[in-house]
Structure formats: C-alpha cells, structure tokens
Structure 1
Amino acid sequence: MKRLIAKILLFFITPVLIISCNAVKRLEPNEDLLVKNEIFSDGEKVKDSRIYSRLYQEPNTRILGFPLKLHFYNLARPNIDSILATNYLENEKKNKFLTGLLSRKQFEKYLHSRVEFNKWLKRTGEAPVLVNEEEKQKSENRLKSWYWNNGWFNVEVDSEIIPIEDEEKRAKVEYYVTPKTPYVIDSLKTEISSTALDSLYELNNTESNIKKGKQYNTLDFNEERDRLSQLFRNNGVYNFDQEYISFDADTVDTDHKVNTTLIIKNRRNNEGDSITRTPFKIHNISKVNIFTDYAYSQRNNLLTDSARYEGYTLYSFDEMRYKPEAISDAIFIKPGTIYTDTDRTRTYNRLNALRVFRYPDIQYTPDPSDSTGTDLVTNIFLSPLPKYSLGFDFDVSQSNIQEFGIGFGGSFLIRNIFGGLENLEFSGRGSIASSTDAAASRDENRFFDITEVGADMKLSLPRIFLPFNTEKIIPKYMSPFTSMSLGFSTQRNIGLDKQTFSGILNYNWKPSKKLSNSFDFLNIQYVRNLNPENYFNVYRNSFEELNNIAQDSNFDFNDPNEDPVLEIPDEADEFIDYVISDEFPNTGLTGEDFFNVLDIYERKLRLTENNLIFATNFTYLWNTRESLYDKEFSRFRFKVETAGNLLSALSGVFNYEQNDQGFDKVIGVAYSQYIKTEIDFIKHWDLGSDQIFAARAFGGIAIPYGNSNSIPITKTFFGGGPNDNRAWQAYDLGPGSSGSILEFNEANMKLAFNGEYRFGLIDEFKGALFVDVGNIWNVLDNVNVPEYKFEGIEDLKELAIGSGFGIRYDFNFFVLRFDIGFKTHDPAQPAGKRWFRDYNFSHAVYNVGINYPF
C-alpha cells in the first residue's frame, strides 16, 4: 500500500519539480513574478473572492498547484527570428548543408514551421504576470471603488511588494485596507414629477431595495432602478425608461448617514429644436389587430378575410387558415387592459413555442380615435412557416451500454393540421452501435452488434386536452402543451432482441422560466422479446452454474460423457423443470442447489418474459441553467411513476385470466404493477480561471406490488459506465457485494454520488479529476440472495468508490471525453480488503464518452 501511494505521489510530483525550476527563466534581472495577492482589512486577512476579483493583476493560472500555461509560454523563444537567422540563414555552412539535404523550398518551410510553432506556444501558454507598480496602483483604486460602493466612503488602501524568501524573482503583493466607519441609509425622500408614477410608487414602496438602517450599497440602487422600471412598465407606463430615474445622496455633516432622494422627472419630448416635458400617463390597450399571414412582400396588398373573437380582430391576405380561438389563446395582450411588458414577453414566447410562425413582430401605435393620448393600438404581425417540413438528422452517440453509436433519421411535419395550431409529425429512425460488453455479443467479430429501427407519430396541441377547463389550474402563461404519440421499434442487440410498442398521452407546462412539469397521464409500453430461447447463450455465467449443478445431479443428459454439457435451449429448460418438479427428492441435489436453480429460473423468466406496462408518471424539473455556456447552475429533478393500477381496478370487471404464478394477464401478458421514484440533483460551481467543480447526487427505488413481484428490466437500475461510476463497466457493478457475477447486473434500488474537478489545459483540451460513489441493490422484491439485498443503513458500507482522471476536447458543439477510472473501494472484495485492492492501470477502466457525464 505504501509503495503504491509513493508511486502515485512520484507520478504527480516529478513534473512539478522539473517544471518549477524554469518558471522565471525568461525574466529580466529587475523583474519579479507575481505568485500571490493578499488583502488585509483592519489587519485581518480577507477571504471574500468577490474582493480578490477586483484586483487588476492575478497570478498565473495554476493547475494542480503549478502554472502549466506559464511553462508552455516559457518554452517559446522570445527572439526566434534572430535565432533562426543566426543559426541558419547567416551560417553559410549549415545553410548550404540543409538546402542540399532538404531543398530550398523545404528548408524555408522548416524555418516557417519553427516560427509558427513558437507563436503557438505563446498563444497556448500564458505570459508571466509581473509585479508592476502601475498595475498595483490600479488595483488599489479598484479596491477603493469596491469598498466605496459597499458603503465605506472614507476607505483608505495601501499596498506593498514583498519578495518571497528563498525563491528567486518571485514576489507577492499585500494590500492593506482601512475601511473606517460604514455609511447607512437614514432617509429616503421622493421627487416624482408625474402623479401617475408617484401613486404607483407609494402603493409599492414597501418592496423597495433601499431601506432605512441598511448599509449603503450601490447594487441596491441599481436593483431599485430595475424594480421601478419594471413596476411602471407593467402598470401601463408604456414609454418609461430607466434613464428618468436618478438618486441624490447627501452625506454632508450626517455622522455616517446617507439621506437619499429619489428623483423621477417628467417625460422628455423633442419638438423640433426645443425640448418639452410632459407627465407620464397610464396607457390602455384599445384594440388588438392580428395579421395571421403577413409577409413583407405583400404588405401593400388588400386584406381579403377577417374575423372577430373576444375583442380581437384577425386579418388575412388570403383565406383565413387559423381558428380565431386558437390564435387568441396564444395572445396575452387583451383589449381593454393596461399595457404591460409581461404580456408582451409572454406573447412572444408563446407564439415562438408553437412552431407555426416565424418570430412575431408586435407594434404599438397611438389610437387616433382617442383624444386623451392614453390608448394604444396593438398590431401583431405573424409570418407563417411552411405548411409542410421535411427534416433529416444524423448523430454520433455514446451511452453507458454502448461504446459508439451512429444514428440517422427523418421527419415529416405538418403544421396547423386541423386549423387550431396543432402539429402532426411522422418520424423514422435507425441506428447501429457497438455494445460495451463485446464478450456478450452474439458475434464477437462484428464491431456493430446493436441495430435498431423505429417509427413514431406525434400530435402536439397548444393546450391541455381534457373535457373540462384547466385555465384556473394551469393558466395559459405556463405555456401548456398536450402531446399524443404512438411508436414502434425493433432492436437487435446482444442476443435476446425485442420489439417495443408504445402509446403516450402527455401534458407539459412551465410555471416559470426555471421550472417545468411533465405529466404522462398514460404511458403504455408493450415489450416483446423475440429470442427468449437464446437466453443461456447470452447469460453464460448463469448457464455455467446451471450446467455444474446438472453434472452433480441424477439428470440424464442427452449426450452422456465424462463432462456432459446441457444443450441450449431445450435440455437446459428440461433440467430446470426436472429440478423444480415434484421429483426433487430423486435429483440427488442439495437444498442449496435447488434454490440456486430456482433463482436462475426466476431470473430467466423475468428477463425473457414479455412486459405490458400501463404507467402514469409525473416529472418536476428545476433548472437555473439558462444556456449551454452557463458555468454555475443547479438542476433538481424528481420523478414518480406508478404502473398497473388502472388494469388492477378493472380486474373485477373483465375477469382476467391468470398465468402459472397466479398473476392476472391482459392480451396474454401479465401486466406490471409497481411504484418508482427518482431524485437527481446536479450543481456546478465556477471557481474562475476555467475551473469548475461539478457534483451530482442520485437516488432511485422501484417497488413491485399487487400483480408483480419484480420490476420489468426496462425500469430497473444499473451501475457503472462512462456516465455513472467510471471505475466499473456498465452493468458490472453490484448488486450489493455480490461481485457482479452475472453478465448484466441490475436491481430495483440505486444510490450514486459524483464529484468532478474540471480545469483547462491547452487550447481546447480540458482535464478532470473525479470521484464516483454508488451501487445498486435489491429491496422488497423476489430476490432473496443476501449479498444482493439492501437490508439497512449498515449496507451503505457496500457503496463502491471509483476515482480517476480524464482528458477532454471541446469542439464547442460537443465534448469528446476520455476518462480512466480506478477501483478505490470495491464492495465485491472480502471485508477489510476492499480499499485500493486493484488500484493500478492494469485493472483500470477506460471510458470514452461524448459530452460531460453530468
């Protein structure tokens, strides 16, 4: 163990020792490398990263403790042109030799490549950050600004450059801050010229960000500007802008108190060469006109069709193609209401989500029939997308169960098929892939051993499709959709193969930008296994155990010899029937053998039986990530699913037939009945300097009841793989401490915890260090093997721990990932020998993935 740790430390320390001695080799005698900044406030060291971020200079980026990019920069020669000229161009002997060896053109290319490589080193690396008096002064000014903006108006800042002892040409900068007494808000007066604005302010001033007794903070004043601007514009003040808001702060002879005045002037009007001011007014929407088929090329054409619905007027240049109630349902701007920014934004978002129109154009103009100047006419111009759309796609994929996959597909979309903004889409797909477990493949000589083809039909409706009104439960601002889909797929995989038929009725809505809900009112799946007789050819470990038991029994083999082998599938099935029949006392087997055969039989039955799943599920998703480029965000997902309850409730009506195990059958298949929950939480922290720490926690459990004593394999959990615990192959982890004795290990309970530190390396290359923790277990089902089961908190000692490192390349639109995982704590090993048992490269798992695992 000690030798192993020493090797690991040597592996990481050696390059550090080699590189560190060259960090300052390019510096001039009077130059010092900045290695650290320290800030002290009233003698105490500051730890707030927000304050350090204000400094103008930061030390060179460090990766795992050493400035890798700086060393790349130092590899470049500062005067490469003169070096090449001296060594080659001006050296007649060497010049003549190389041009004779390479030819003049190749020699010039060689010199050019040297120059370009030198430029690449500088571009890829990071120039040394040198201690600089001018930059230090700028940092002092920034610190003063930060403290001033946070209420310390009399702050004083000084700094000092301190050479690092025993380290040549290295120094740190210490900043000394004396904040003094902070200023607090003492009073807030208002000077609001427009009566309408003053009334709105007084009705909502309890929500102000500026409060008496609170320490002064410039950010509070900026947020107050935003709040007031939104308040006014969402209450009818159509032409209001933030530039009208200003604050006056009086601190003269106030004993560290701030007397603040909010100033909002009247609206400025430019009339020729003169400027006048008029009070702001509350604007109302008098009319809403919707042009349903607008195109710039026909803007001067006559409108030929129109319709009125609930105050809206719809126009069309051709025959009206949309139901007025469907169009109006997507418009939040209503005649007879005051103007609000929120209604405008919601209208934009809803119309875009329909996938029927291009980006809409919403314009507001004064109503010429209104003498008060407060009414607005809203004109909404909609440009339809083509009625029919044909699309093709191609993708490269990777998952926990396939190393590499190629997919292709096509789709045919019919927009507004029934006139109510409904979309009908037909799609087909196909894929080929290589499985992660080539040993289980039916043809080890074939790289692509998984193929799948499928087709789907999906109807989307921009509303909740139910026989009663759901507006009070799910308002239309939540952008509700209903989708009905039918699908079919057939898959040729590692040997069993299957066909899947599905039907889904789904409701989806978004209460807010960060929150979305999805409810499958009905999710029907019928899974038909095509080659159940091939089971023992796929699950060889089960077959070998069964064959060994048969050799120890009194069973008559078809081909008796010294080492008989059961024929697949008939003789293997015959032996199982022989053991579990009433003739067991004559088999010559022990009770343990009997139960082992029974376990093999029950597992074979579960994995080869057809599945009928009538499920209902609900998914709650909270996601603060706004774009793919967000580096710091949180994501929480909760899902609950129940299956079989509807069919169970109808059992008394239809008097179902039963199978040999006593379970009810529908269309000849025992339907599944269970409850399943999943909780998934992901958090990313931006550490700065292209460094991110990402963490994930997952928990899931599926409990059978009623008409089932086990979970369909499509609904179980597995461990391992490039997106899970990377120290184990997919399906090779667990259950429990069993040691993954089967080819494909799955169970109905799972815990997983992952942590990953990501950092930039060179150009688009990224690095990572990770720790993965987790396992799967059986609980409350028909599995009775103690090593498989989770029976209490003490079984958490069976959590598997993997650790390792990875290299990634960012292509912008996807990330290619290579991770190496080492078994750090292996629950399959005997107790007391589970830590670092196989912690070496020969037992490592090499993962190739696309995009980040979480």
Structure 2
Amino acid sequence: MMFRKAKYFYLLISCAIIGGACNNLKKIPAGDALYTGATVKIDSTELSKKKKKSLESELHSLVRPKPNKKILGMRFKLSMYNLAGNPKKETSLRGWLKNKMGEPPVLLSDVNVERNIQVLQSTLENTGYFKAVVEGDTTIDGKTATAQYTVQTGIQYKNRNVFFDTSGLIQKAIAEDSSISLLKKGDPFDLAAIKSERIRIDGILKEKGYYFFDPNFIIVQTDTTAGNNQVDLKVKVKPGIAPTSLQPYTINDIFFFPTFRPNTGSGNANANANAMDTSKKDMIFYDGYYVLDRQKQYKPRIFEDAIQFHKGELYNRTDHSATVSRLVNLGLFRFVRNRMEPVPGDSAKLNVYYYMTPMQRQSLRAEINGSTKSNNLTGSSITLGWRKRNTFHGGELLSIDATGGFEVQVGGQLRGYNTFRYGLRSTLSIPRFVVPFIKWNNAGGFVPRTEIALGFEKLIRNKLYTMNSFQASFGYIWKTDIKNEQKFNPIAITYVQPASISDQYLDSVAKNPILGRTIAKQFILGATYNYNYSELQDNIYKTGIYFNGNADVSGNIIGLLTGASESNPKSIFDAQFSQYIRLEADFRYYLKLAKWTVLANRIILGGSVPYGNSRSLPFVKQFFSGGNNSLRGFRSRSVGPGTYVSDTISTGFLPDQPGDMKLELNTELRTKLFSIVHGAIFIDAGNVWLTHEDSLTGAGFSKSFLKELAVDAGVGLRFDASFLVLRLDVAFPLRKPFLPEGDRWVLDEIKFGSGPWRRQNLIFNIGIGYPF
C-alpha cells in the first residue's frame, strides 16, 4: 500500500514537471485568464537611472495580488494544485498535495487595477511626489493576462526649512535635541521620516521624565507654498493635550509585591493589583523601597540589584525598561506587571508599583537524546534534572543533573568497543556578582550571575579503559545587551584519572603513541574567559555576524610556586599538572541572498602554547577535526594531526586524533525547499596539528600547513520545526591529507556508482540543530 502511494506521488511529480504548463491553462475558468504578473514603468526625466530602477522595484512590490510562484521557470505549486484534483479527504495524499504543496491559480478577476493605482499614488505622494500621475491597464493574451502601470512622478519636493516650536516648557525640551532630528533640510519630503521623528521625540521626552506623553501628541505641519518644489515643516505639539501629559515626573515611592496572585476569575487585572496596595506599616522598607512579603520568601536585597532608579530621580524610560527586564530575567517570576500612578495632591511625582507572580519553586525535568555519529557510533543518553528556584531566598537557582548514556559501534569492522558514561553535575547560580569586599554592579536590563559548579563523570570504553573526571568552577556571566555576553571563571579545575586500563590498550599505546594521551592523568587549575557576540538572535535567514572567543590559561601560579619546568616536571594529586595558554576563535558571516536563502560561512582558529610543565595540551583541552559539526566528509575526530596516519588495523579500534592547533573553514548554501524542509550544499576544510611532533611523523605544525588541509563536500536536508531541527547530511572527501603530497586531491577517484567507493567514502551524519 505504501509502495502504491509512493508510486502515485512520484507519478504526479513527473506529470507536474512534464505537462504542468498546459494543464494549468486548461483549468482556467471560461471568461477569465491566468494572471502572470505586473510591470511598473516610470516615465520621468528628473530621476537618475539608478533612482528610477529603485523606485520601480519599490512600487512593484506594492502591487497586489502576486502571481503564482515559479520554480525554475515553471509554476510547480500551481501544477500540483491542479493535478491533485478534488480530494475527498484533506488528510489523503492528494489532499496534502493540493493544500500543502499546491497553490490555487491567481486569476485576472482577482486583480483590482484601481485599488493598485490608489496605493501607488498614495505611496508617491507620501515620499514627496505631490504631482505624480499613475495609470494602469491589463493585457490579455489567450489564457494569460498581465497588468501594466505607468507612472509620471514629476519633481520630488524637498524640505526647505524645519522649524521647532519653542512656545512652552515641553516645546523647548523637544527643540533641545533638534540637531539630531530625522527631518533634515534638503532631504526629500517623506511621511515615513515624519512618523519616525514623532517616535524619536517621544523617546527623548520619556528620558526627560514625560511619562504620560504619546507620539500622537506631535504634529508636523507641511507648507507646500514655499515654491521651487520645496516644503517648510513645523514640528508642534497638538493643542488641547491634558496638562498631566505635558510635564516631567520624578520618582516618589517604589513598591514591590513579589507574591502577587492575580484573580483570573475577576477579569480585571488592574483591580487585583490595586487590591494589593496596602499600608506601608505592613511592608519592609529596604534601601529606599518597600516590599510586601508577609511570608518572607524573598530577601529584599534581590530587588536592590533589579531596581535601576531611586526616589527623587527624574523618570526615564531606559531605567524603567531595564528594571522590568531584570525582574523577568531573575527567572523567579512567571509574570511581572508594572504600574505608575501620580501621587495624589502632587501631580509631578510618580509612585511605582511592581507586581510579580512567582514560578513554581521546584521542578523536575527529563531529557532523552539519540545520536548517530560519522564513526558508526549510535547511542542514546538520558538526563534527569532537579531545579530549586530561590534556594536561599536570595534569588538563587540550584540545579542538579544526573546523566547516563551509551554509544555502540553498529557498522564497519571495528565493533565491540562500546562506550558507557554516567555523571552528576550541580550548579548554584546567584543573581549578582559575588566579589569579596567589592560591590560590583552591571548596568542594563540583564541580571549578572555568579555560578559555582561541581561535577563528576565516569567514562567506560569497553575492553579498553575506564576514566574518572572531576570538574569544579567559580565564575561570572553577564550581558551588556542582547548581542553581547561574557563569561569569566577565575577558578576552573579539572582532574582526570584512569580507573583501569586493559592490557590490549596498553599494547596499542606501544604501537600508536597518540593513544597514550587519552589515558594520561591530568590536573588543570587555571582561568577561562569567553566572549560571545551574535547579530542573529535565532534567525538564520538574515545577514549578520557571529563571534565566539575563548581564552584558557592554566598552571601559572602553581608553576611559580613549585618551580616546574620541562626538565623538572611537578605533580599534584599524583598527576603532572598542565601549563598552557589556549586561544580559540569561531567567526561566522551569514549573507542573505533571498528571502529563504542564505550563504553561511565559518572559520575556526585554535592555537595553544604548552610550556613549563607541559609539552602539549591535556587531552580534554585539545582540538579535534572531523564529524557532523566539523568536517562532515570524515569520521568523527579522525582528521590529522597534520599528515599523520593512524594505525587502526593493529590497534583494532578507531582512536581520537587530537591536536594543539586547529584551522577549519566551512561554507554552506542554505535554502528553504517547502514547508519545514530546508536544503543545503556545503564544503568543509580543515585539520589539527601538534606543537611538538615527537614520534608522530607528520603531526607537527609547519609553514606547509595549508598543503595539509582535508577538504570535503556534501548535501543535506534540515527539517526545521522551530522548536527542533533534525539534520541529515551526506558528504565525501575531496582531499585526504594523509596521502603522499601530490596525491591528496581525490576528485578523479569519485565514483558514485561504485559500491566499494561509497562504502569507503560516503559519510552519513544525523544531527540536531544546524552545524553552525
């Protein structure tokens, strides 16, 4: 049954491609025609060629309706709509083709020429073409029709003078910032600029205490009698505005209600909020504000970090918005409402009220993941988490996560070396900077946090080894705005110790020295810093940049205290501690080519300087290349270092191949195909290298590093359901750095029809989320 449906589906697709155009026209109702689009032509000697083209494009975008969409010159979606016919059920295959993939015909009868003329005429007048004339008509050619619009713009009017009224207090406040007005002398008249100017003025007045002012109170009078196709603009405040809207306010008393429970049955949230207003004698007064918290669930100091203005200060919108944002970002309250009321008998002051509805204090969560890696490892993991908000009544968040998982080798010849892991991690997040003897504030609407974390993990590689690792850190996270985030851990500790090592693995280390790095004892005591900048904010189809930089320094203080050196290494807890400087930068540039098409580019640069007590980075800090978020035409962690060739035959399993330095470049063309299905074509290049080659021939970094890059290419599908992105990629090598120089490009060996070539070279990747 499924085969028959699939066969029918592909038959419909083929018919749509081969005979779609003819079928589309046959379905047009009698007396009507298929509307194929409109043209807009500007007839003007006053406009430059560039300006004319730009204006034609702008006006064309306003014409409605839009014709049926074309794909490769064919109206594919219309063809699918017609071929599906009249399905009995919307849930059937034909129903899906018609309603999801299909698109009904756009007919000439749907076109309202007069309405389009009005829209174009109005748009031109709003941009200074006061004498513009627009004409429109349609042309029918058999079963198709088009519309044509001809525009005579005339001369565009420009601003001669811009005047600001100074007859009153608020008028003078407006005129003070007239130098940054959006209405400029000599600019073309533009209604959109006038609207933006009203919003700009309102924003500036809000910073000066005018809480009750509104952009609609501003009018801009236009005088077209100035002559020479010019206009005079006068910015004024509407007459008859209530006095309360025309005066600045200062902050009076500030009230917090952190246990506010709205009575949803009353249907009047303001009435419920007013019901909370009570006598100050029932409240706690702390640092200039009042808190009503009869059960003492919250320490008053958490509101000290949130509030951005104080009694006696002039009201301003920036502090107002930042306070609300901080209360929300505390992560303690489901809803945050704000109300400001003039003080009775003193209309120049505002009482400020904040009503917060608490979230559930404790919560449990479970998360299950499945993964398939390009080294034929398939596995799953489960995480059980417990959260306790406001742990010590100061806004803290205590998190404890228990994780367990496995990975099983399901393909290839190297089977049986399965991986199991389990661990426990706890994190205490405090909503402020905790710095001894220093009061450190962070401006803006984002709450800074201090995080203390402890963790343990046991890794079991069947038949090979068992490793225990411990982590601890203390640090700070803060944002200056939505695009910038910084993390600084002045203390970051990692201790890794092998619990058991099999004889088979020890024999393999003797044959392949790179394997010894995995089981080495490691003690890392240092500091880390991370800076993240993003212009995307979860929108991948836009032009913008992303940057993530990491700095990691370890062993400096211990090295000085112990006098450690390469010739005289020292140990702590029976492990040689690490000394290094490690830097990594991830830069991405996204170029939007069309509405649903973007070119995504990434470059990763990683470098390190092991010194003193270390000849190389500890294994947990080293760089890797290859895998479903890296070089997708190579197996996970299998590229490099340099031109080094790993001996997987003698060891019997696939080793991780780390490096002290890394270079990786990725380019991916992404486009939306239909519905939630997106497609991609990509190229990856990169490698890792060691600082000291030691006994690993070809693994060291040299001036010939560009000749040692691995390169792959591939295609992929992404099923983007917003809350979850499932990614399927298939890729293959174009250049293999471990081959002799001169033989590394393998383009001439590509044979998609060859089974042995596909088994050795095609790498399938399944991932969650976009690779970058």
TM range (shorter): 0.7 to 0.9
Match of 1:526 among 462, 474, 495: 495
8 Å contact from structure 1 (residues 726, 821) kept in 2: yes
Matches within 5 A, 1:432-831: 432-434=406-408, 439-443=413-417, 449-471=418-440, 474-475=442-443, 477-493=445-461, 495-533=464-502, 537=505, 569=507, 600-601=512-513, 603-627=514-538, 633-652=544-563, 662-688=568-594, 690-738=596-644, 743=654, 744-764=656-676, 766-783=677-694, 787-792=698-703, 795-829=705-739, 831=742
> Which letter maps to 1:610?
K
Aligned counterpart, 1:326: 302
Change (3 A) 1:146 1:788: farther
Aligned counterpart, 1:127: 104
Change (3 A) 1:51 1:683: farther
Match of 2:164 among 174, 186, 190: 190
**C-alpha deviation, 1:637, in angstroms:** 1.6
Alignment partners' CA distance in 1, 2:152 and 2:644:
63
Match of 2:321 among 301, 322, 345: 345
Identical-residue share of aligned pairs (%): 25
Aligned counterpart, 1:848: 766
> Which letter maps to 1:822?
F
8 Å contact from structure 1 (residues 394, 406) kept in 2: no
Alignment partners' CA distance in 1, 2:730 and 2:127:
47
Q: Does 1:336 align with 2:312?
A: yes
Change (3 A) 1:307 1:159: same
8 Å contact from structure 1 (residues 725, 802) kept in 2: yes
**C-alpha deviation, 1:810, in angstroms:** 3.1
> Which letter maps to 1:23?
A
8 Å contact from structure 1 (residues 709, 782) kept in 2: no
8 Å contact from structure 2 (residues 661, 691) kept in 1: no
Q: Does 1:252 align with 2:163?
A: no
> Which letter maps to 2:702?
E
**C-alpha deviation, 1:154, in angstroms:** 4.1
**C-alpha deviation, 1:809, in angstroms:** 2.5
Change (3 A) 1:211 1:317: same
Q: Which moved more, 1:453-462 or 1:831-840?
A: 831-840
**C-alpha deviation, 1:239, in angstroms:** 0.8
1:157-193 deviation per Cα after TM superposition (whole angstroms, max 9, x unaligned): 56787999xxx97787776655554332221112466
Aligned counterpart, 1:310: 287
8 Å contact from structure 2 (residues 625, 688) kept in 1: no
Change (3 A) 1:453 1:607: closer
Q: Does 1:26 align with 2:2?
A: no
Aligned counterpart, 2:10: none
**C-alpha deviation, 1:482, in angstroms:** 0.5
> Which letter maps to 1:409?
T
8 Å contact from structure 2 (residues 25, 34) kept in 1: yes
**C-alpha deviation, 1:747, in angstroms:** 1.8
| TM-score, structure 1 as length reference | 0.76
Match of 1:425 among 399, 406, 412: 399
Alignment partners' CA distance in 1, 2:228 and 2:535:
43
SS in 2 for 1:316: coil
Alignment partners' CA distance in 2, 1:436 and 1:714:
26
Q: Which moved more, 1:604-613 or 1:168-177?
A: 168-177
1:423-453 deviation per Cα after TM superposition (whole angstroms, max 9, x unaligned): 333332223344687655534xxxxx33322
> Which letter maps to 2:581?
I
8 Å contact from structure 1 (residues 735, 778) kept in 2: yes
**C-alpha RMSD over aligned residues:** 3.7
> Which letter maps to 2:533?
W
1:221-275 deviation per Cα after TM superposition (whole angstroms, max 9, x unaligned): 2322221111112221111111112222222353232311112225645xxxxxx
5+ long unaligned stretches in structure 2: 1-12, 264-271, 649-653, 753-757
Match of 1:380 among 349, 354, 358: 354
| TM-score, structure 2 as length reference | 0.83
1:470-507 deviation per Cα after TM superposition (whole angstroms, max 9, x unaligned): 537x4475521101111111122464342211111120
Alignment partners' CA distance in 1, 2:690 and 2:149:
59
Change (3 A) 1:492 1:377: same
8 Å contact from structure 2 (residues 210, 248) kept in 1: yes
Alignment partners' CA distance in 1, 2:326 and 2:490:
23
Match of 1:281 among 208, 229, 247: 247
Alignment partners' CA distance in 2, 1:39 and 1:844:
52
Change (3 A) 1:163 1:530: farther
> Which letter maps to 1:120?
W
8 Å contact from structure 2 (residues 254, 352) kept in 1: yes
Alignment partners' CA distance in 2, 1:436 and 1:160:
67
Matches within 5 A, 1:133-152: 134=111, 142-152=119-129
> Which letter maps to 2:427?
K
8 Å contact from structure 1 (residues 396, 404) kept in 2: no
**C-alpha deviation, 1:141, in angstroms:** 5.3
Change (3 A) 1:223 1:700: farther
Alignment partners' CA distance in 1, 2:657 and 2:530:
26
Q: Which moved more, 1:25-34 or 1:728-737?
A: 25-34
> Which letter maps to 1:808?
R
Aligned counterpart, 2:187: 214
Alignment partners' CA distance in 2, 1:327 and 1:127:
57
8 Å contact from structure 1 (residues 488, 499) kept in 2: yes
In the alignment of these two chains, the number of paired residues is 722
Q: Which moved more, 1:216-225 or 1:610-619?
A: 216-225
**C-alpha deviation, 1:787, in angstroms:** 3.8
> Which letter maps to 2:447?
S
8 Å contact from structure 1 (residues 514, 623) kept in 2: yes
**C-alpha deviation, 1:769, in angstroms:** 3.0
1:338-390 deviation per Cα after TM superposition (whole angstroms, max 9, x unaligned): 222222221122112222333222221221252xx11111122334444x413
SS in 2 for 1:608: coil
Alignment partners' CA distance in 1, 2:454 and 2:43:
66
8 Å contact from structure 1 (residues 323, 419) kept in 2: yes
Alignment partners' CA distance in 1, 2:252 and 2:725:
52
Change (3 A) 1:32 1:61: closer
Change (3 A) 1:696 1:64: farther
Aligned counterpart, 1:293: 259
SS in 2 for 1:293: coil
Change (3 A) 1:18 1:408: closer
Alignment partners' CA distance in 1, 2:111 and 2:183:
37
Change (3 A) 1:737 1:171: farther
Change (3 A) 1:31 1:290: closer
Aligned counterpart, 2:8: none
8 Å contact from structure 1 (residues 719, 776) kept in 2: yes
> Which letter maps to 2:488?
F
Match of 2:61 among 19, 42, 53: 53
Change (3 A) 1:39 1:405: farther
Change (3 A) 1:767 1:249: same
